[in-house]
């Protein structure tokens, strides 16, 4: 199966295989579920474009998106937005591979029926399966939403180990069946370490193609800042989340600006007489860190819709040609300049260009407070890695 796909991956680049209709090996599933594979040009190189011009009626190849845990609350919120074109644009056709556990297949069938009833013009088909081989076969994007939730009284270390038994086979299946250039977004918690396990079990896929989602934490923080500063979220620049998607994460304002003014100064001006430093350390940071628990307490269920929105935004902005404002993404820590050890999936500030993310480098040295926060979240991720060391072959 691997040998059938052209190897177009280049060092340091994230590319997809490009194929022309009628040329080379083309795979299809059931004809009543999906359309025919056709050409989609990603590299935009002159050779590929010249070949495409030989065909009068070529059109973009369908993007194949796999979603695990597709019948769950997050998956349910996510699938319809993918099908509508919100993730890849209003001219890009999509095919959804919805993956679930055997006991949830009937529920998933109902979700697929609803998707069909929406008659989305861009949706070529939905494949419902409990087989990772079928679900990941030749996919461009994999959204790893499904994971085992934390049980009452369960220790975090035990949860991590149990999820490791899910994400190790997931990584192996991606390695065997997905495109070598697949982009992976890990949503299921504990997201950073689940992502590390999957990546470590997929040696043929570049490590940088695996990311974990801290976009929800990022967006939660932007919402809090916009409310406090009485501004739009688009007025806020250069904010980021460092570290783990957990209560140890560090929401960092030290480089942020609001309408071009240093964030702390802008917040002080908007809240005259208030101790903004105290608000930052004793209110803002804990609020962002504990927001998920607060939502569960308020509505009796986890934050599914906002998590789905963050997943969509993470994948969409990674696909964007250029995104100069900072995003927060948990990515491989190798080679960073901030003292974070190699071998972790760690949230950094990143920018995106040509469908590739890049860690923002050259920031001022952390002050004592920030350094302590970075060290705390790093320590937690190192402990999590130790919990699952037996599942990290690569």
Q: Active-site positions?
A: 245
Please identify which residue in the block is written with the tokens 């998590």. Answer: 307
Q: Sheet containing 345-353: which strands, arranged edge to edge?
A: 123-129, 94-99, 63-68, 141-144, 183-186, 210-213, 322-332, 345-353, 356-359
Alpha helix segments (H runs only) across the chain: 46-52, 73-84, 105-118, 132-136, 156-177, 191-200, 215-229, 263-270, 276-279, 285-289, 291-299, 304-319, 368-387
Query: With left for phi above 0 and alpha for psi between -120 and 50, is residue 7 left, alpha or beta?
Result: beta
* Residues 6 or more apart whose Cβ sits within 8 Å of residue 162: 148
Q: Tokens at residue 379, please?
A: 């320590």
CA angle, 247 then 251 then 257, to 5°: 165
């Amino acid at each position: 199966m691997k040998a059938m796909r052209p190897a177009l991956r280049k060092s340091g680049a994230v590319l997809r295989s490009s194929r022309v209709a009628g040329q080379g090996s083309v795979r299809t599933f059931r004809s009543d579920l999906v359309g025919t594979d056709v050409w989609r040009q990603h590299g935009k190189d002159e050779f590929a474009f010249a070949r495409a011009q030989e065909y009068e009626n070529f059109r973009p190849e369908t993007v194949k998106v796999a979603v695990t845990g597709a019948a769950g609350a997050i998956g349910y919120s996510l699938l319809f937005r993918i099908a509508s074109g919100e993730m890849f644009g209003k001219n890009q056709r999509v095919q959804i591979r919805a993956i679930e556990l055997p006991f949830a297949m009937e529920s998933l069938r109902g979700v697929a029926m609803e998707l069909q009833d929406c008659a989305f013009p861009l949706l070529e088909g939905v494949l419902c399966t409990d087989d990772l081989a079928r679900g990941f076969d030749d996919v461009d994007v994999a959204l790893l939403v499904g994971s085992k939730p934390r049980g009452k009284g369960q220790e975090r270390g035990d949860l991590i180990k149990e999820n490791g038994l899910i994400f190790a086979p997931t990584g192996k299946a991606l390695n065997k069946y997905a495109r070598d250039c697949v982009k992976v977004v890990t949503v299921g918690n504990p997201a950073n370490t689940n992502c590390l396990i999957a990546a470590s079990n997929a040696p043929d896929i570049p490590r940088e193609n695996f990311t974990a989602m801290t976009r929800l934490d990022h967006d939660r923080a932007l919402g809090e800042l916009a409310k406090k500063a009485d501004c739009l979220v688009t007025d806020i620049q250069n904010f980021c989340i460092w570290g783990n998607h957990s209560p140890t994460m560090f929401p960092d304002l030290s480089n942020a600006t609001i309408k071009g003014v240093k964030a702390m100064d802008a917040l002080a001006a908007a809240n005259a007489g208030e101790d903004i430093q105290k608000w930052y350390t004793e209110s803002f940071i804990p609020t962002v860190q504990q927001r998920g628990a607060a939502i569960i307490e308020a509505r009796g269920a986890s934050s599914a819709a906002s998590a789905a929105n963050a997943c969509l935004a993470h994948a969409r902005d990674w696909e964007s040609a250029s995104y100069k404002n900072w995003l927060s993404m948990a990515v491989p820590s190798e080679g960073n300049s901030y003292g974070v050890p190699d071998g972790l999936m760690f949230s950094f500030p990143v920018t995106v260009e040509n469908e590739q993310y890049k860690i923002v480098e050259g920031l001022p040295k952390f002050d004592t407070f920030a350094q302590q926060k970075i060290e705390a979240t790093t320590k937690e991720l190192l402990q999590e890695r130790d919990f699952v060391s037996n599942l990290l072959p690569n």
